[in-house]
Structure formats: structure tokens, C-alpha cells
């Protein structure tokens, strides 16, 4: 057998065997994933941000959120952890992307899937400047609850100059919206109100310096 023929024989055997091995390996992954599909939600890897100031050991952000938003892990800061009807609290973070954008990042169980499983929602919104000269950066969220109803809520962050946040009720009364030590908030506007939700940002102990009309 010539050298060329020996080379071709080896190629004809080795290449398909190698590719078959890769194909079998990759086919095996979907089968493993099918177990996930049939069962509960997939497991989450999380980064531990406990070594960063003011953050406890349980404060984690899903690695998937970091990858999805292309966040710089060193810039992740927990700014709010809010009680939730689910076992897991809704957490709000600030972070910067690898491109330098500022982000509000949230993670938590938020409603249910159409077949009734608790739905974890993670991600956020980024800009060069979250505030752009304003007092409040916010994200409006809706989710479907187990009884089929829709729940609306706002999460956000107030600027360093803002000391207090209040909401205006349908009757015109002002209701305090608590801020965390990280200047974050979670607010559920009254479901019964037909009026557009309004937040008021205050500086010091004084009157509102900005009126934020929300969608």
C-alpha cells in the first residue's frame, strides 16, 4: 500500500470515529437537559459577592445574568433585597457592563409560567448614565400570578441627592415608599387605581424636587 493510500485509510477511519464521538457527546447533553425539561427549573450557578463591602454571604447574582448582560463581576453591588411571596426574595443590584454602562439588575421569582411553575426572571437595563440628571431610575415590571391576574410593580434606584421617595395615591394622598440603605425601592401601585402612578423625589426634609409620572 502506498503512503497516500495508508493516509486516506487512516483518515477515512479516524475522522468519522472522532466526529461520531463528538456527536454522541453532544447528543448526550440534550438528554440530560430533557430531565430538566421534565422536572423543575434548571439549577443556577451564582457568583458570591460576599467579599464586597456591605454584602452578606447569601447575596448572589446568577452567573447567567452576568453572562447575559456582559457585566463586570467586580462592580456588582446588592442595593436591595425585598421580601417576596416566593421563598426567594427579589434582589436588586447595580453593576457596570464590560463596556462601562451603568445597570440596574434584578433577580427573583416573578409570577408563574403558563403551566403554573414559579418563574425566575433575571436581567436588567443599562445606559451610560442611569439618571441623566433625574432623581429616579426605574424599571416597570408585570408578571402573571398563579390565579391568572397581572401584577404591576416598579423597582428602581434614587440618586445620591434624593433622601425620600413618596407615591401619590388616586385620592391625592402621599404615601411613603421605603428606600433601602442602597437607595433602592420596590413599589406596587394600587391595582384599583385608574390614575397614572406618580412618584415624588425629595431632598433633605423638604418638598418634592421631582415628580415622576410612570407608565
Partner 1 sequence: MRRMLVVGSAVATFVLAAPVAAKADGWTCYYCGPAWLSSGEGHPSEYDGCNNFWTSNWLWKSDTALGTIAFIDTEGGWVVSRQTYEVNMVYGVDPANWVKKLYGKNSSGVGYSGEMRGWIWYVYTGCS
Residues that bind partner 1 (CB under 8 A): 4-5, 8-9, 11-12, 15-16, 19-20, 22-23, 26-27, 30-31, 33-34, 36-37, 40-42, 44, 64-65, 68-69, 97, 101, 103-104, 110-111, 113-115, 117, 119-128, 130, 132, 137-144, 150, 215
Kindly calculate the radius of gyration of the chain based on its CA atoms and give it in whole angstroms: 25
Shortest Å distance, C-beta 29 to partner 1: 8
In SS3 terms, the chain reads as: CCHHHHHHHHHHHHHHHHHHHHHHHHHHHHHHHHHHHHCCCCCCCEEECCCCCCCCCCCEEEHHHHHHHCECHHHCEEEEEECCCCCCCEEEEEEEECCCCEEEEEEEEEEECCCCCEEEEEEEEEECCCCCCCCEEEEEEEEECCCCCEEEEEEEEECCCCCEEEEECCCCCEEECCCCCCCEEEECCCCCCCCCCEEEEECCCCCEEEEEECC
* Smaller CB separation from partner 1, 36 or 195: 36
**Cβ closer to partner 1: 78 or 104?**
104
Query: For residues 41 and 56, which CB has a smaller minimum distance to partner 1 in the complex?
Result: 41
CB of 188 to partner 1, least distance (A): 15
User: Which residue, among 159, 170, 104, 169, has the nearest Cα to 136 in the 3D structure?
Assistant: 159
Q: How far is the CB of 67 from partner 1 (least distance, A)?
A: 10
> Which residue, 34 or 174, is less far from partner 1 as judged by CB?
34
Minimum CB distance to partner 1, residue 123 (Å): 3
CB of 137 or CB of 201, closer to partner 1: 137
99 versus 207: smaller Cβ distance to partner 1: 99
CB of 185 to partner 1, least distance (A): 15
User: CB of 133: closest distance to partner 1 in angstroms?
Assistant: 11
Amino acid at each position: 500500500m502506498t503512503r497516500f493510500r495508508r493516509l486516506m485509510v487512516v483518515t477515512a477511519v479516524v475522522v468519522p470515529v472522532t466526529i461520531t464521538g463528538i456527536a454522541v457527546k453532544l447528543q448526550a447533553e440534550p438528554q440530560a437537559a430533557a430531565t430538566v425539561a421534565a422536572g423543575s427549573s434548571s439549577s443556577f450557578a451564582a457568583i458570591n459577592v460576599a467579599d464586597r463591602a456591605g454584602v452578606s454571604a447569601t447575596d448572589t447574582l446568577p452567573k447567567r445574568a452576568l453572562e447575559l448582560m456582559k457585566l463586570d463581576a467586580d462592580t456588582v453591588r446588592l442595593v436591595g433585597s425585598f421580601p417576596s411571596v416566593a421563598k426567594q426574595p427579589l434582589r436588586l443590584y447595580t453593576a457596570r457592563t464590560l463596556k462601562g454602562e451603568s445597570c440596574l439588575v434584578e433577580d427573583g421569582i416573578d409570577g408563574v409560567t403558563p403551566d403554573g411553575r414559579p418563574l425566575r426572571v433575571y436581567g436588567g437595563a443599562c445606559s451610560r448614565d442611569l439618571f441623566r440628571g433625574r432623581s429616579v431610575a426605574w424599571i416597570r415590571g408585570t408578571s402573571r400570578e398563579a390565579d391568572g391576574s397581572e401584577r404591576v410593580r416598579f423597582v428602581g434606584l434614587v440618586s445620591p441627592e434624593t433622601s425620600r421617595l413618596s407615591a401619590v395615591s388616586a385620592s391625592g394622598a402621599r404615601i411613603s415608599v421605603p428606600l433601602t440603605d442602597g437607595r433602592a425601592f420596590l413599589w406596587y401601585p394600587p391595582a384599583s387605581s385608574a390614575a397614572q402612578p406618580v412618584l415624588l423625589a425629595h431632598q433633605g426634609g423638604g418638598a418634592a424636587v421631582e415628580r415622576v409620572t410612570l407608565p
